[in-house]
């Protein structure tokens, strides 16, 4: 797993209180990890902070899975 | 008329994370008050409080038992305490598994005096330092007072009345009284009722200290600081925690063979119409609330065996005692009266509920909890049994709880052993 993936996973586990092995790139925040829309807002804020990246609302709306988040961060951070 | 009984109890207090630990420590004369550890209080006038201990402490509270990790992160501690106490009460009542029909007739009335002050304080600093885009999306619903009732209803599927009282330090007593009326009025068969508070945070301590309400002169002797009716009392000590009871319509409880602790027989309410923080010197508001509660209960002065006083360890103790004497007689007609705030501090919006539970346990175990630190009783206490220092076995059939709050709001509750 990439460094980004590890750090994303850690944030998701901490915020959603889910088992680490459930947090794989295919996992949907809402369908698989029990998040609601406000949890996703909070997660996006945490990603912004961790990676120093800005995730505008229209981009955040397209982040449905853990993999979507990793991909967005890898393409836009730094 | 529909009768209302208590079939479940839940407590989170500075003396324990559950009912039996709290009660055993209270009867043993333990104090839950100590130096503030939740934050660095070294620049505060008051540096002590009755904190709920962590799970590593023998009397500690383990939030993980009944509250999801995710919810713990999103909400203020008063909501965590409230959810846990409500869960304890439902488990005690044997009502964690209800039918759809029962759930439609089961509600919540769990309030708080202040609500999520620590979270408001932190997010406010966050807003100013880092801007509006960094404010948590869970900020609002993680701090709102009615979100104990909201969270509990979601967790257990309770679709009956969803209510939350906010009457400062009378909240817990009003919550139980209002909920009992909802059952009596046939709005529900089961109500989770009580109150919670957790405001041991910098602005909470500073605010009450600035209002000259907190004890600031016993910082070096925390366990001696809360001393109701004692000559050396000098303000209240802040506590935190929650108390929740299961109230149930009597026939409903009987039909399912529930354990019945006591019946809620009397509820009285009044306003002082006098001052925002000080009680009326003549104590008429307190007296009216007690008289109303006794009248509704159909009891007379001699029927009350135990009074759990508001008794905050302030000058107001004298006013309350004078009012109790006018209602029950100069010797309280043989009743014992104690202030358990001497051991746990003042739980503000949680106080009335926690102390009503102590009244119920006094009836269950035929013992009255002590007023700690009452070594030098104030004038006017002669001939009154204030249960100094040690718990005492005695017959207890009916008990009265008093709760009075800022704004001049008064509530009295009477609970009685089932006939």
Q: Rounded to whole angstroms, what are the CA distances from B93 to B97, B229, B280, B409?
A: 11, 36, 40, 31
Q: Given this model, what pLDDT does residue B146 score? A: 98
pLDDT in tens, B134-149: 999 999 999 999 999 9
Spatial neighbors of B41 by CB under 8 A, at least 6 apart, are B35, B47, B202, B205
Q: Is pLDDT at B9 greater than 80 in this prediction?
A: yes
pLDDT in tens, B292-312: 999 999 999 999 999 999 999
Assigned fold of B268-416: Peroxisomal Thiolase; Chain A, domain 1 (3.40.47)
Alpha carbon distance B50, B296 (integer Å): 34
Q: Given this model, what pLDDT does residue B419 score? A: 82
Tell me, yes or no, if the pTM score tops 0.90. yes
Give the closest residue to B223 by CA, choosing from B22, B32, B23, B12: B32
Could you tell me the pLDDT band of residue B101, with boundaries at 50, 70 and 90?
very high
Give the closest residue to B376 by CA, choosing from B234, B252, B261, B269: B234
Beta strands (DSSP E) in B202-335 are 241-249, 262-271, 306-308
Give the closest residue to B258 by CA, choosing from B95, B87, B88: B95
Q: Is pLDDT at B399 greater than 80 in this prediction?
A: yes
Could you tell me the pLDDT band of residue A55, with boundaries at 50, 70 and 90?
very high
Share of chain B above pLDDT 70, in %: 100
Let me know if B201 is a catalytic residue.
no
* Contact assessment for residue B109 and residue B82, using Cβ atoms and an 8 Å cutoff: no
Mean pLDDT of chain B: 97
Average pLDDT over residues B192-200: 98
* Contact assessment for residue B171 and residue B404, using Cβ atoms and an 8 Å cutoff: no
Alpha carbon distance B312, B277 (integer Å): 13
Alpha carbon distance B32, B17 (integer Å): 12
Domains of chain B, by residue range, sit at 4-256, 268-416
Please check whether the two domains, B4-256 and B268-416, share a CATH topology: yes
Give the closest residue to B172 by CA, choosing from B295, B20, B12, B49: B12
Residues in chain B with CB shorter than 8 Å from the CB of A45 are 133-134, 136-137
How distant is the Cα of A31 from the closest Cα of chain B, in angstroms?
16
Provide the token pair at B322: 């004078």
Domains of chain A in start order, with CATH, are 3-76 (1.10.1200.10)
| Residue in the structure block whose two tokens are 């509250």 | B67
Asked if B73 lies within 8 A of A45 by C-beta distance, the reply is: no
Could you tell me the pLDDT band of residue A2, with boundaries at 50, 70 and 90?
confident
Q: Rounded to whole angstroms, what are the CA distances from B9 to B194, B197, B242, B359?
A: 10, 17, 11, 12
Q: Given this model, what pLDDT does residue A77 score? A: 84
Residues in chain A with CB shorter than 8 Å from the CB of B73 are 15, 17
Mean pLDDT of chain A: 93
Alpha carbon distance A48, A55 (integer Å): 7
Could you tell me the pLDDT band of residue B320, with boundaries at 50, 70 and 90?
very high
* Contact assessment for residue B219 and residue B47, using Cβ atoms and an 8 Å cutoff: yes
Could you tell me the pLDDT band of residue A1, with boundaries at 50, 70 and 90?
low
| Residue in the structure block whose two tokens are 């006083």 | B309
Could you tell me the pLDDT band of residue A47, with boundaries at 50, 70 and 90?
very high
Q: Is pLDDT at B380 greater than 90 in this prediction?
A: yes
Report yes or no for ipTM above 0.95: no
Query: Of B68, B69, B138, which has the smallest distance from its Cβ to A42's Cβ?
Result: B138
Dump the DSSP string for B104-159.
HTEEEEEEESS--HHHHHHHHHHHHHH-GGGS-TTTTTTT-TTHHHHHHHHHHT--
Spatial neighbors of B214 by CB under 8 A, at least 6 apart, are B45, B46, B205, B208, B235, B236, B237, B238
Axis-axis angle for helices B202-210, B117-130 (nearest 10): 110
Share of chain A above pLDDT 90, in %: 92
Q: Given this model, what pLDDT does residue B414 score? A: 98
Pairing of strands B162-163, B106-112: parallel
Average pLDDT over residues A67-74: 96
Alpha carbon distance B384, B371 (integer Å): 12
The residues of A annotated with a catalytic role in the active site are 36
Assigned fold of B4-256: Peroxisomal Thiolase; Chain A, domain 1 (3.40.47)
Provide the token pair at B72: 């713990």
Interface test with A, best of B70, B72, B132 (most A CBs within 10 A): B70
Residues in chain B with CB shorter than 8 Å from the CB of A17 are 68-70, 73
* Contact assessment for residue B199 and residue B241, using Cβ atoms and an 8 Å cutoff: no
Query: Of B68, B73, B134, which has the smallest distance from its Cβ to A45's Cβ?
Result: B134
């Amino acid at each position: 797993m990439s460094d980004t993936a590890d750090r994303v996973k850690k944030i998701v586990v901490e915020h959603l209180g889910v088992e680490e092995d459930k947090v794989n790139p295919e996992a949907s925040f809402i369908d698989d990890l029990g998040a609601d829309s406000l949890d996703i807002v909070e997660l996006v804020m945490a990603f912004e902070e961790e990676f120093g990246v800005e995730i505008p609302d229209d981009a955040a709306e397209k982040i449905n899975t853990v993999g979507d988040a990793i991909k967005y961060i890898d393409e836009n951070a730094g | 008329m529909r009768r209302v009984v208590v079939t479940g109890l839940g407590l989170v207090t500075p003396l324990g994370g559950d009912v039996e630990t709290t009660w055993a420590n209270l009867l043993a004369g333990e104090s839950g008050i100590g130096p503030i550890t939740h934050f660095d209080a070294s620049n505060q006038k008051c540096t002590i409080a009755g904190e709920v201990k962590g799970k590593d402490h023998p009397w500690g509270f383990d939030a993980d038992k009944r509250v999801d990790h995710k919810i713990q992160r999103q909400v203020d501690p008063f909501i965590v305490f409230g959810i846990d106490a409500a869960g304890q009460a439902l488990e005690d009542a044997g009502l964690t598994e209800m039918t759809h029909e029962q759930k439609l007739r089961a509600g919540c009335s769990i309030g708080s005096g202040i609500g999520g002050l620590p979270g408001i304080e932190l997010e406010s600093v966050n807003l100013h330092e880092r801007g509006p885009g960094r404010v948590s999306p869970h900020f609002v619903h993680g701090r709102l007072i009615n979100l104990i009732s909201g969270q509990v209803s979601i967790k257990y599927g309770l679709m009956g009345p969803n209510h939350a009282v906010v009457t400062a330090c009378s909240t817990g007593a009003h919550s139980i009284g209002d909920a009992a009326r909802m059952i009596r009025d046939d709005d529900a068969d089961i109500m989770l009722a009580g109150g919670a508070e957790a405001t041991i945070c910098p602005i909470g301590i500073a605010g009450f200290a600035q209002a000259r309400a907190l004890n600031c002169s016993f910082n070096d002797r925390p366990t001696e600081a809360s001393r109701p009716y004692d000559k050396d009392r000098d303000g209240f000590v802040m506590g935190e925690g929650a108390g929740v009871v299961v109230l149930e319509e009597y026939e409903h409880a009987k039909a399912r063979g529930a354990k019945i602790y006591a019946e809620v027989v009397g509820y009285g309410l009044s306003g002082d119409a006098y001052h925002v923080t000080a009680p009326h010197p003549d104590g008429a508001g307190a007296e009216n609330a007690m008289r109303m509660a006794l009248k509704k209960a159909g009891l007379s002065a001699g029927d009350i065996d135990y009074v759990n006083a508001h008794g905050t360890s302030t000058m107001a103790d004298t006013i309350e005692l004078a009012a109790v004497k006018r209602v029950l007689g100069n010797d309280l007609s043989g009743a014992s009266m104690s202030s358990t705030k001497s051991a746990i501090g003042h739980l503000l919006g949680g106080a009335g509920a926690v102390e009503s539970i102590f009244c119920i346990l006094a009836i269950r175990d035929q013992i009255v909890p002590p007023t700690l630190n009452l070594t030098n009783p104030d004038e006017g206490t002669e001939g009154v049994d204030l249960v100094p220092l040690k718990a005492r076995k005695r017959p207890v059939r009916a008990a009265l709880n008093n709760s009075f709050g800022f704004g001049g709001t008064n509530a009295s509750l009477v609970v009685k052993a089932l006939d």
